[in-house]
Amino acid sequence: MNRPNQKPRTVLLGAGIAALMASSAILPTTASAAAAGSGFADLVEEVSPAVVYVEVTTKAHKAKADDLPQNDPRFEDFMKRFGDQFPAPPQDMPRQGLGSGFLISTDGLIVTNHHVIDNAETVLVKLQDGTELDAQVIGSDPLTDIALLDVEGEDYATVAFGSSDAARVGEEVVAVGSPFGLGGTVTSGIISAKSRNINSGPFDDFIQTDAAVNRGNSGGPLFNMEGEVVGVNTAIYSPGGGSVGIGFAVPSDLVVDIVADLKDDGQIKRSWLGVQIKPVSDEVAHVLGLTSGQGVMIEEVLADSPAQEAGLESGDVILKFGEQDIAELRDLTRSVAMEDAGKTSEIEIFRGGKSMTFNVVLADRKDQEA
């Protein structure tokens, strides 16, 4: 049975980035190395039962004039030649998409990408043995592109998260998923780079791999040689739409935190500091007496914000938040967002030629948005 592919989201970077339709205490642990001489066969045999195919029907929407062929001169010439009339615009246009996912609990919790299930009306999950199950969306986070699903039942095969921070460039990895709807597809490669920023959002910290991933791999796991998930395949660098050996995965250390939050109440809680920041250029760092690539500068302190209450000022250079050294914008963005609102945190800044430490009580970001 032929199934249509999900149209990927697109993020501009050079020739283009196309998204694929591509606290650890709450999760189990698994460890199994591929047996010597068997390649990846033993590893794949162990983890594959936990990898699922995800099929989505999105909510119907009104057709726009731009969607219709009569607005294209090429179709107009064609219809004139054959003397046909243009069809009336359809009132509703439901769409179907596909992706991948993986089970992390025996009672049916499944991790996938947000963009796989975005605007979903129905979500169907297919297991390796062909069993089809209706899935419920527990919650999703567009900023990290992670979603959590649930299916009824128990005693499902599962996989566990490993540490993406401990993963090293050059290590072998295996991707399992459903590219173009071809379920149970396995590819291998290495970790090509870490901490990649592809300008898709404030939490960019991707693992780059040359394991072949394509549309339909989205939401599928990237395994290390211990059979642990070190990333969730999310995007590819693809000038032509297919794999060219540059794929990106959300690191597991971030996914674990997001999954724990979604499992709690289906929502992501993020904190708010209340500053606008910019990078510290090499020239500015030299003038201030800082090391190049050290800190981010406060461009503006927002009124009635935690930053203002703590005494931070425009022109301060933030060097450290909590235990996290701040070297670039995303370091501060992620550190603040993942901290609990209402908690007092230390923030180290550079002002007037010396370092200073302030205590700041972060606010709830949703309260500020409201």
User: Can 305 be counted among the known catalytic residues?
Assistant: no
Report which secondary-structure segment, H or E, holds 70. none
Mark whether 115 is an active-site residue.
yes
- Per-residue burial over 160-176, b = 16 or more CB atoms within 10 Å of its CB, e = otherwise: bbbebeebeeeebbbbb
In three-state secondary structure terms, 137 is: strand
Place of tokens 């909590």: 322
Return the bridge partners of 18, or none: 10, 236
Closest Cα to residue 43, out of 221, 232, 223, 183?
223
Dihedral angle sign, alpha carbons of residues 270, 275, 276, 280: negative
CA distances from 131 to 16, 128, 179 (A): 36, 7, 19
Q: Catalytic: 145?
A: yes
| Single-letter residue type at 45 | E
CB 257, CB 268: distance < 8 Å = no
CA atoms of 283 and 169, how far apart (whole Å): 31
Given the residues 100, 114, 141, 145, the one annotated as active site: 145
According to DSSP, the residues that pair with 54 across neighbouring strands are 99, 125
Candidate list 100, 178, 188, 218, residue with the active-site label: 218
Query: Which residue of the set 100, 114, 115, 253 is catalytic?
Result: 115
What amino acid positions are annotated as catalytic residues? 115, 145, 218
